[in-house]
Structure 1
């Protein structure tokens, strides 16, 4: 893996059926394909490490953005996939997949991690412990999505006089 520690990708979802029914039009597009750039409207250009248009498959997104992270996990590195966007922007589809036939990032990561660990164990006899977090931050409330008994917990994020951010336990208020 290269020395770039943070990468940003954008995925433009296709218009929903109800949007097409109301004659909505796409206002964001990847230009040109493969450039990592998107155009908003007719004149606002934004650059990302990866940009995927509405026809991009789950395979494309996973192989370009996430699979390298999975491989680095077995090298001892931590990895985080952070999905951000407004309600209805396609985060759940990208993470969870649209159907059983086309799994999302979570399905693919789990499958690859255990396949790679099995190969490593067979070759080296290594034991591994896998820890996973799946958290939702919504309106400054944090919820563990892997624990169905967990309610939202209030999360307090603070900024000190130097502009550093942290939670209540890190800063004296």
Structure 2
């Protein structure tokens, strides 16, 4: 795996039917295709590790951004896919897919993890425990999306006095 710890991809969704009916205009596009650059309006250029236009399929996004993470998982590395964007920007579609025929990142990761584990286990050299988290942070409230009984208020993000998140270190006496 390369030395880059964080990679950023942007996916531009197509205009929705209601946006087309209201004659909204496309204001963001990948330019030039394959460059990892996005053009906002006529002249604001932004660079990313990956940039996907409205016609990019789930396969292309998964194979470019996530599949290498799955392969590194089985080599002992941790991996996180973090989706960020405003409501309606396409996060759920990218993660969960639009239909059973075109699964999203979650479906593909689960399938690949267990296929790769089965391949490695066939020679008897691998024993694995799989742990998965699917969290939503919305308006500073955290929810475990894999636990249907979890209320937003039940999970808390903990910060120390310096604003750091995570476990507090115990002081040695």
Query: TM-score, with normalisation over the residues of structure 1?
Result: 0.92
Partner SS, residue 65 of structure 2: helix
1:10-159 alignment runs, 5 A limit: 10-153=10-153, 155-156=156-157, 158=159
2:142–2:157 Cα contact (<8 Å) kept: no
More strand by share: 1
Deviation at 1:160, TM superposition (A): 4.8
Partner SS, residue 166 of structure 1: coil
Give the root-mean-square deviation of aligned CA atoms: 1.6
Partner SS, residue 101 of structure 1: coil
Deviation at 1:166, TM superposition (A): 2.1
Deviation at 1:69, TM superposition (A): 0.1
Tell me, in whole angstroms, the C-alpha distance in 2 between the residues paired with 1:35 and 1:159: 40
Partner SS, residue 123 of structure 2: helix
2:160–2:168 Cα contact (<8 Å) kept: no
Deviation at 1:126, TM superposition (A): 1.8
The runs of at least 4 consecutive aligned structure 1 residues that moved more than 6 Å come to none
Deviation at 1:141, TM superposition (A): 0.3
Tell me, in whole angstroms, the C-alpha distance in 1 between the residues paired with 2:22 and 2:8: 32
Cα deviation code 1:20-55 (max 9, x no counterpart): 111111110000000000011111111000000000
Distance 1:157 1:37, change over 3 A: farther
Partner of 1:170: 168
Partner of 1:2: 2
Tell me, in whole angstroms, the C-alpha distance in 2 between the residues paired with 1:170 and 1:84: 26
Partner SS, residue 19 of structure 2: helix
Structure 2: any 5+ residue segments left out of the alignment? Answer: none
Structure 1: any 5+ residue segments left out of the alignment? Answer: none
**Count of residues in correspondence between the two structures:** 168
Tell me, in whole angstroms, the C-alpha distance in 2 between the residues paired with 1:170 and 1:159: 7
